[in-house]
Amino acid sequence: MTLLRQRQARVETRAIWRVRAAEKTLADDSVTVEEPLEIRIAEESVAVIMRTPCHDFELVAGFLRTEGLIDSPSQLGAISYCTAAEPPNEENIVEVKLAAGVESDLEGLRRNFYASSSCGVCGKASIEAISCQAPVLAGDFTVAVETLYGLNDRMRQAQDVFEQTGSLHAAALFDRAGELLVLREDVGRHNAVDKVVGYYTLRNEPVPKKSVLMVSGRTSFEIVQKAWMAGIAVMAAVSAPSSLAVDLARESGMTLLGFLRGRSFNAYAGEERISF
């Protein structure tokens, strides 16, 4: 697979009024950049995603994988920024070339909506438009409860840009022993998940089967769907899941944990993978 340059995350400064009790002062504040990213396959636009400009190729590769647009990393041929894009979009359009012999129904793939940075699934016309073409997740391993207790702190400690702006979500993949494998940040938690999956996709590797995905914030249907498509069997979040997220986790055979903070959590599905 051919990869051309990727941009780095951007943090910009904005003038603000900082109010503390009855006092106000003029100050500068760091804010995370948010920009649209258009994905093109064979010169056809298939999606526009609002994202944090960083690890764009991982985001695209992960998006193609978790949305079922490709079945394996080997189906990717090349990913690059569009050389014909005009300012200020030189690095806001990514072109994908599929591997030789791989064909796609582009009309069927085109999502025709702007994916919100806060929620990707709500832009789709209906829940019926989403289909998961993935097998039930294998349940042949367990994770120690003591390992789970430390994941949130480890994730927060690795969030570099969040420390500057306080405005980013994170997705972090850990092994069974609680060691951090990869962490990505984005204004959208579903984008952060795609970046984690894309990290492995660009290396032509599957996501490690016996791993745990930790996400900041809540867990939506789409987050569980993406984890299922990537073959991730254990998922935890700082906040609560939605009803559809719980239903999908149970259907997929996933272990889904919510409110994982300190030494407590709720197990919504697949509690048999947790060893006490």
Query: Quick check: 74 and 99 in contact, CB under 8 A?
Result: yes
d(CA 265, CA 276): 13
| 68-77, 193-202, 210-219: least confidently modelled range | 68-77
Query: Quick check: 34 and 187 in contact, CB under 8 A?
Result: yes
In this predicted model, what pLDDT tens digit does every residue of 237-276 receive, in sequence order? Answer: 999 998 889 989 999 999 999 999 999 999 999 999 999 9
User: Which of the following CATH numbers is that of domain 143-275: 3.40.140.10, 1.10.3720.10, 3.40.640.10, 3.40.47.10?
Assistant: 3.40.140.10
d(CA 116, CA 47): 11
Kindly report the pTM of this predicted structure.
0.84
Write the DSSP string, 207-224: PPSSEEEEESS-B-HHHH
- Which strand (E) or helix (H) includes residue 64? helix 56-66
User: Which of the following CATH numbers is that of domain 35-129: 3.10.20.10, 3.40.50.740, 3.30.450.30, 3.10.20.30?
Assistant: 3.10.20.10
Q: Which residue has the higher pLDDT, 197 or 139?
A: 197
Two tokens at 150?
């430390």
d(CA 153, CA 175): 15
In this predicted model, what pLDDT tens digit does every residue of 20-47 receive, in sequence order? Answer: 887 889 988 777 788 889 999 988 888 8
- Which strand (E) or helix (H) includes residue 156? helix 151-157
Q: Is 119 a catalytic residue?
A: yes
Could you give the maximum distance between any two Cα atoms of the chain, in Å?
Answer: 67
DSSP 198: H
Query: Quick check: 56 and 37 in contact, CB under 8 A?
Result: yes
- Which strand (E) or helix (H) includes residue 184? strand 180-186
- pLDDT band of residue 129 (cuts 50, 70, 90) is very low
Domain regions of the chain by residue span: 35-129, 143-275
d(CA 253, CA 130): 18
Amino acid at 183: L
Query: Quick check: 236 and 275 in contact, CB under 8 A?
Result: no
pLDDT score, position 126: 33
Amino acid at 1: M
Average pLDDT over every residue of 56-71: 91
Count CB atoms within 10 A of the CB of residue 53.
Answer: 20
Q: Residues 207, 139, 240, CA angle at the centre, nearest 5°? A: 75
> Does the pLDDT of residue 125 top 70, yes or no?
no
pLDDT score, position 84: 86
In this predicted model, what pLDDT tens digit does every residue of 69-123 receive, in sequence order? Answer: 888 888 898 999 998 888 878 889 999 998 887 766 555 555 444 454 454 444 3
Out of 54, 82, 119, 132, the active site residue is 119
